[in-house]
Amino acid sequence: MSYTALYRKFRPSTFEEVKGQDHIVTTLKNQIKAERIGHAYLFCGTRGTGKTSVAKVLAKAVNCENPVDGSPCNECPTCQAISAGTSMNVIEIDAASNNGVDNIREIREEVAYRPTQGKYKVYIIDEVHMLSTGAFNALLKTLEEPPSYVIFILATTEAHKIPVTILSRCQRYDFHRISLETIARQLRDLTDKEGVAAEEKALHYIAKAADGSMRDALSLLDQCIAFHLGQELTYDKVLDVLGAVDTEVFSKLLRHVIAGNVTESIRTLEEMIVQGKEITQFVGDFTWYMRNLLLVKTSENTAEAVDVSSEQLKFLEEESQMIGVEMLMRYIRVFSELSNQIRYATQKRVLVEIALIKLCKPEMETNMDSVLDRLRVLERDIEAVRSNPQAILQAAPQGISVPQTAAQAQDAKPKEKPPMAAPEDIQQVQTQWRTIVGQTAGMLKSMLMTAIPKYNGNTGENKLYVEFTNSLAQHYVDQPSGKEELEAAIAKQIGKTVEVEMRLASMGNNEHLAEISVDEILKNSIHMEVEIEEEES
């Protein structure tokens, strides 16, 4: 007798055997018990979630001679004929290969004849979204008003491709992705029935790799059992068969990426490729690993946030202290974009290497999250210099001078207060007035551009008087912030401290203040008499 694949051998034969679709099973059973059966159903959902299986169970249930709580008995001749595929009342059509108008016209002609056995003729049209526009139009009238003994069950993975006119004539049921726990539990039941010894961790990984599809999970389990026939199915053997990577390798790779070590990251990828690991599988698994790390980083109860072993959770909690949320989200974004590109790429390894270099070198990107990552790298380098400046000096090549840090410069040479300015220094401020004013900012800069620098002509004291012509400058006369900002700009420009006093031109007691004339500045600069010739009018 030929071997039957697990997903065919354990296909559900009753509603109770359907896993993970309780919301659909309950509704259909209630309809059958109440005899409120619809004439058209649309089953939507991703592959391997039970659409065709539920359609066949429904076809048996509506024709069963002795239904049990809305489910088929699987013992009457009608149920057995449908299960064997020999019943004339259940017609399965693959719309991918029978998508023309002529195929639908044949259905329209056949529905005129009553079933030879049982109550209903059931048409199961799989992948119905593959029908042509003309075929959909030919199906419309029959689908809307079929004979009382005809039921249409349309199954599709892409409901958005079906015309609205078809959708409005059907009862729509959306099949959910089956949870990881449900798939793992079903795999355990099947391995017990088959007499196969398997580790719980191995079955759990197969369930995760199935990505919500029960059929994919059974196919992967079948593949792993066949590869290690007669042996216990362990976690390591499953990784070998599926070309997957252990989570310890992900932890090692992520730590190299956080450290910005391109060489070690590429070397880790090289080791995985040499071992025959599947690159596409690696990209998906590494993205999932970073997703778990993000949940551990952001959730309050880490044990409930991710479904991993205690050993792996320890690594995740340790790595969550090494990386920020923004940086981790950037890593996930880069690998999510990579997973879309790698499907159709011929040089998959090159794309993965470029992605790893992007993670290690955030300066290659201009996104906001990469800028935050670059700041993180700069802060790390600055902290390293502060903690061990001698290591930086020793690492520098001979003949190259390394700039001193601010702390080193302060220790080497104590900061001295600039000497008080002499009157000629106040005149020097006048010669560089526009440059000094340019170092200020905001409204103060605008006020200083129209102000007049003066000095006390009676006493010759070392003080600069700034006379504002605009009454709006009263704020800077009353507050010391503007005075301090100007003094700092003067000290930066001429290297000496000059005391500043700000006044309004409208204030009294300004008659003793004199402007600093240009000829006086020139005489003090070149130390000789300068004759100023006036032009004749």
Is 239 within 8 Å of 247 (Cβ atoms)?
no
What pLDDT score was predicted for residue 473?
76
User: 189-233: per-residue pLDDT in tens?
Assistant: 999 988 888 888 889 888 888 878 899 899 989 888 888 888 888
Give helix 348-360 / helix 279-298 axis angle, nearest 10°: 30
Q: What tokens were used for 191? A: 């391995």
pTM higher than 0.85, yes or no? no
What pLDDT score was predicted for residue 414?
52
What pLDDT score was predicted for residue 399?
47
SS3 246: coil
Is 377 within 8 Å of 293 (Cβ atoms)?
no
Max alpha carbon distance in the chain (Å)?
Answer: 130
Distance CA 480, CA 357 (A): 52
Weakest-pLDDT range from 227-231, 364-368, 499-503: 364-368
SS3 68: strand
SS3 75: coil
User: 335-355: per-residue pLDDT in tens?
Assistant: 988 888 888 888 888 999 999
Is 477 within 8 Å of 497 (Cβ atoms)?
no
What pLDDT score was predicted for residue 1?
47
What pLDDT score was predicted for residue 54?
93
Which CATH number does 180-242 carry? 1.10.8.60
pLDDT of 366 > 90? The answer is no
What pLDDT score was predicted for residue 151?
92
Is 212 within 8 Å of 178 (Cβ atoms)?
yes
| CA distances in angstroms from 12 to 71, 195, 355, 404, listed in the order given | 11, 20, 43, 75
pLDDT of 323 > 80? The answer is yes
Distance CA 361, CA 258 (A): 10
Give helix 200-210 / helix 214-227 axis angle, nearest 10°: 130
Weakest-pLDDT range from 18-22, 145-149, 195-199, 522-526: 522-526
pLDDT of 513 > 80? The answer is no
* Helix boundaries (H) for 397-473: 406-412, 423-431, 433-438, 442-450
Mean local confidence (pLDDT), 13-18: 90
User: 51-71: per-residue pLDDT in tens?
Assistant: 999 999 999 999 888 888 888
Cα dihedral 234/235/236/241 (nearest 10): 90
Distance CA 490, CA 429 (A): 7
Which CATH number among 3.40.50.720, 3.40.50.300, 3.30.300.180, 2.40.160.10 corresponds to the domain 6-174?
Answer: 3.40.50.300
Is 44 within 8 Å of 175 (Cβ atoms)?
yes
User: 413-471: per-residue pLDDT in tens?
Assistant: 555 555 444 567 777 787 788 888 888 887 788 788 888 888 776 666 777 888 887 77
Residue 27's pLDDT band (cuts 50, 70, 90)? very high
Q: Which strands make up the sheet holding 463-468, listed edge to edge?
A: 499-504, 463-468, 452-456, 513-515
How high is the mean pLDDT of the chain? 81
Sorted by where each begins, the domain ranges of the chain are 6-174, 180-242, 250-378, 423-526
What pLDDT score was predicted for residue 318?
84
Distance CA 472, CA 104 (A): 87
Weakest-pLDDT range from 41-45, 184-188, 250-254, 341-345: 341-345
Q: How far is CA 93 from the centre of its chain?
A: 40
Where do the DSSP E strands lie in 157-210? 171-174
Distance CA 222, CA 241 (A): 11
SS3 393: helix
Burial of 140 (0-12, 13-18, 19+ CB in 10 A): middle
Distance CA 187, CA 469 (A): 88
Weakest-pLDDT range from 64-78, 239-253, 392-406: 392-406
Distance CA 395, CA 398 (A): 9
Which CATH number does 423-526 carry? 3.30.300.180
Could you please state the CATH topology (level 3) that the domain comprising 250-378 is classified under.
Answer: Zinc Finger, Delta Prime; domain 3 (1.20.272)
| CA distances in angstroms from 514 to 157, 316, 420, 518, 523, listed in the order given | 90, 73, 20, 12, 17
Is 502 within 8 Å of 473 (Cβ atoms)?
yes
- Closest to 126 measured CA to CA, from 101, 150, 100, 94: 94
